[in-house]
Chains A and B, each alone.
Chain A
Amino acid sequence: MVQLASYSGVPVSVCAHTMTRSASMNELLQRVASGGDAEAYRKLFQSYAPRVKSYMIRQGADAGTAEELAQETLLTVWRKAALYSGEKGSATTWIFTIARNLRIDRLRREVPWQELPDGHDEEASTDVPPDEQLSDKERSARVQAALAELPPDQHEVVVLSYIEGLSHSEIAEKLGVPLGTVKSRMRLAYQKVRESVEDLA
């Protein structure tokens, strides 16, 4: 079983901070987007850079490279903040996609192909008004709860794909199971988690 995160040694205050961060993180990112607010940016940096660093380490980077990529991810946040639309996306999802693309570019040295979500995609018009939406914090907690309930073998392939960055074939090789088994576990996991990431709920 692959652990998503080890909380050993992490002060309790960090975890408590995690619980309250999302809503304000969206606001901070919007302040950076609209006014180039350096103080808001500093808070975003302090909150996200250490997680991006962890993500890069899990993706196979050494500590020094992970630190550089965390810096670069956050610099991209500053440069591209105007593309972010808080009406729609969560700051965390937006920053995750920046980190993901940077990892593909730098650690795998491949073209990411994927554009950053700019909050103006096709979904926007079908969304419920903001005051009827789940808050970002609630939504995130819901996804995390759904992931935690996955059977271990399904949870494992999802972690290997998202956090360790392994392709289906690499996961199959690592676990010693057929490729089709990896795919069906991924499919089943998504079916179970999908409801928690729906827009209208």
Chain B
Amino acid sequence: MTIKFHPDSATLMSFASGSLGEALSAVVAAHVEMCPRCAAEARRMERIGAAMFEQLAPTPMSSAAEPTAALQTMTKERPARAANRDEDTDADMPRTLRKIAGPELDRVPWRRIGIGVWHYPLPLSPGAKGDLRLLKVAPGQAMPEHGHGGAELTLLLRGSYRDEIGTFQTGDLADLDDDVEHRPVADLQDGCICLIASEEKAKFRGLMARLFQPLTGF
């Protein structure tokens, strides 16, 4: 897999600092799983955070905070190494999403929301802003046209699509500025499955409403 499109370094930095919202973080985490280059970049960015953390002036703990008593009763976890990661060989869902979306893309309970378009909204924490969902688009089908209100990230999980920017394939992540207008068309043979997150809920509702309108391909 040759990944050509990566998150903006500002996006990745926000992810590594822990300040990127839950929905957008889920997409970046799934990309980082597939992309050694971004995984290494994220590690470097964590080192920046650690260097700043180390410079913070300490705040004394209260004297009752000494931990030793608790340790006597605590059992240590054994390392959960990579052993069980490849147990399910059919698993093609990003590892981070398997708890909420199951192990296989083909077994997602897709819901049809338009001609040749299915989705599966993924639950976010109650207080989280934004929107996270899987989107499946039939071969040759145009994805809905929309501007991006706030940040939006799209990760290709299967197949490909092309738009004015290029051809996005499995593992590629589209990190578009909010003023970019684009109209992706799914691969003619395989269609595509994407993971899409947006920072703003309302904007995504607008997109979903559009999906019910008749779609015209190129």
Contact = CB atoms under 8 A, between A and B. Distances in A.
Given A7-B57, A53-B61, A79 B52 contact: no
A93 B50 contact: yes
A67 B94 CA distance: 35
Contacts of A42: 66-68
Interface residues of A, number: 90
B56 A168 contact: no
A37 to B, nearest CB: 11
A89 B90 CA distance: 32
Contact of A165 (B18, B36, B76, B178): B18
A30 to B, nearest CB: 13
B43 A121 contact: yes
A38 B67 CA distance: 10
A90 B150 CA distance: 35
A175 interface: no
Contact of B71 (A41, A95, A118): A41
A28 interface: no
Given A163-B56, A187-B9, A197 B25 contact: no
A44 B77 CA distance: 18
A162 B49 contact: yes
A83 B79 contact: yes
Interface residues of B, number: 65
A147 B18 CA distance: 18
A10 B57 contact: yes
Interface in B33-58: 36, 39-40, 43-58
Contact of B54 (A18, A49, A82, A199): A18
Contacts of B57: 5-7, 9-10, 54
Given A90-B47, A96-B49, A161-B14, A110 B21 contact: yes
Interface in A63-114: 63, 66-67, 70-71, 74-75, 78-83, 90, 92-93, 95-97, 99-101, 103-104, 108-114
Nearest to A17: B58
A36 B75 CA distance: 10
Nearest to B100: A111
Interface in B51-88: 51-62, 65-68, 70-71, 74, 76-82
28 contacts: A5-B55, A6-B57, A10-B58, A45-B67, A53-B59, A54-B57, A58-B56, A63-B59, A78-B74, A79-B77, A83-B79, A93-B49, A100-B18, A100-B46, A108-B127, A109-B127, A110-B25, A111-B124, A114-B15, A122-B39, A123-B43, A140-B51, A140-B54, A169-B150, A179-B178, A186-B10, A187-B10, A198-B44
